[in-house]
Structure 1
């Protein structure tokens, strides 16, 4: 029987070829079956498909901020960490809105021809709402915890002349270890599922 610790390894080894195959098919479809109206945007879509391949590395990814490099209280650095994540979410929303708007322009959609100030305000508010939701999810599901603290104490802090109280962080840690038993961190999985579905 396969141990719980082997699940991430097997998942990555099985998922990587499937992901590469699906992305290869996607690239072919985008390059050869896209409507002509989409123009050079098909190359942008290909760029995104290739770029996304580089996001799968390890089971932990943390945004770490050190208080020894900033003359700010740790609570303020923690807020900055969350705002950084929220701005990332906002940039994703702005990127999506730009693509939608450009596609509407290229296809000559009536919606763009009747674009007015009220529509612009809605388009500008969407990234703010998206970023706020992103921050809320990050702070409620990807916040510092004892399991991530342990990983940082074992793998990040040694040799950096830091202690855990001098840093703050947010980010997913998919597996938690208690009593030498690894189990899934459902709080992180729920948070990342929400962020991924946004």
Structure 2
């Protein structure tokens, strides 16, 4: 039963994703530059970093052409092998997407930590100024690269693995294993008597990757919950306009968490976890690859819509520079920053 159409579907989603992401990220970059003034502080710089990484994420997604296959004992991400480099080095160009994936996830977590500090513990804002902010950004990138390196060395191609996968690749994709390069864990190694052993290296590496995703979700939920509780309190010393902007940014971050949970976390966790329970999704796991590629434009359009300054900026842009009468929330944000620290902590 051929499922070659799944590969075509995934590639088309990646191509569409990068085109739309180029537009949405360019638009957001313009808004951050001209509509979000310096009163946005570290949040503006964080968004710049996030936008750049997300744009690179989309480009790498289409360049790597990453596809996936899942069996009852393992999963692999793979691409067609063009022979430009040796088979040993070829997976580097396949799993570099992993580095940007985890960097993007960690930068999103940093956003939530930043909002938590602004709303609930303003005294710690110094940890997002100057060199500290660069530490957060480059620290996220370093963790993303380390995850990529872990996958490269933990899940190399093996002759036995290629033999096990050859029948399914021939059946579903009409491909031989010489035509593809792949990377992925093997949770169970079984013999002809169906007696299986669990490779410690593969399980350890995958537990690190899976727990990293789960832990990041926990941090986002905790910070989001604490911020919502704080913002819903009636603080008489904080202006209504300030609280309004804080709620805008909080809603933006909630959307920034819901969208990746649906399009990034859940699909990847299913890819990671289902073979652990001997559930094979076969070629249909490529739906996860498709959702990963369409995430960036959806995420950025949502942020542009939620934040008032950005929404007004888009309207002004398409009105050829005609200014809107709406009150800019950057003024509100300036009011927020002019408050004393004692006014910001309860």
TM-score higher than 0.5 here? yes
Tell me, in whole angstroms, the C-alpha distance in 1 between the residues paired with 2:206 and 2:78.
Answer: 18
Q: Are residues 143 and 71 of structure 1, via their aligned partners in 2, closer, same or farther at CA, if it must alter by over 3 Å? A: closer
Confirm or deny: 8 A CA contact 2:169 2:176 kept in the other structure: no
How far did 1:108 drift? 4.2
Alignment match of 2:106 (pick from 61, 71, 93): 93
Q: Which secondary structure does the structure 2 equivalent of 1:124 belong to?
A: helix
Distance change (3 Å), C-alpha of 1:102 and 1:128: same
Q: Does 1:66 align with 2:80?
A: yes
State the distance in 2 between where 1:84 and 1:115 align.
27
Corresponding position: 1:167 with 2:176: no
Assess if the C-alpha contact under 8 Å between 1:137 and 1:195 holds in 2.
no
Alignment of 1:11-160 (within 5 A): 58-67=72-81, 72-73=84-85, 75=87, 77-112=90-125, 115-158=128-171, 160=173
The match for 2:204 is 190
d(CA) in 2 for partners of 1:57, 1:167? 17
Query: Could you report, residue by residue, the CA deviation over 1:3-31 in whole angstroms, capped at 9, with x for unpaired residues?
Result: xxxxxxxxxxxxxxxxxxxxxxxxxxxxx
Give the number of the structure with larger relative contact order, counting CA–CA contacts within 8 Å between residues 6 or more apart: 2
- Structure 1: distance between partners of 2:120 and 2:128: 15
- Give the drift of 1:149: 1.6
Q: Hey, which bits of structure 1, 4+ residues long, moved more than 6 A?
A: none
| 2:185 partner SS | coil
Alpha-carbon distance between aligned partners in 2 of 1:86 and 1:197, rounded to the nearest angstrom: 16
Shift of 1:73: 3.8
The 3-state SS of whatever aligns with 1:62 is strand
Q: Does structure 1 conserve the Cα–Cα contact (< 8 Å) formed by 2:92 and 2:152?
A: no
Is the contact between residue 75 and residue 186 of structure 2 (CA under 8 Å) also seen in structure 1?
Answer: yes
More helix by share: 2
Aligned-pair CA distance for 1:133: 1.3
Q: Distance in 2 between matches of 1:165 and 1:87?
A: 27
Cα shift at 1:77:
4.0
Aligned residues: 141
Measured at CA, do residues 126 and 140 of structure 1 come closer, stay the same or move farther in structure 2, by a change above 3 Å?
same
Separation in 2, partners of 1:88, 1:140: 18
Q: CA RMSD in A?
A: 2.6
The Cα offsets for residues 86-127 of structure 1, whole Å up to 9 and x where unpaired, read as 222212211221221122222242222563211111011111
Distance 1:117 1:64, change over 3 A: same
TM-score by length of 2: 0.37
Aligned residue in 2 for 1:39: none
Q: Which runs of 5 or more structure 2 residues have no equivalent in the other structure?
A: 1-69, 213-346
5+ residue gaps, structure 1, are 1-55
Describe the superposition over 1:129-157 as per-residue Cα deviations: whole angstroms up to 9, x where unpaired: 10121012101212222343233212123
Distance in 2 between the 1:146 and 1:178 partners?
15
Query: Tell me, what secondary structure is at the counterpart of 2:78?
Result: strand
The DSSP-based 3-state class of the residue aligned with 2:186 is coil
Question: TM-score normalised to the size of structure 1?
Answer: 0.61
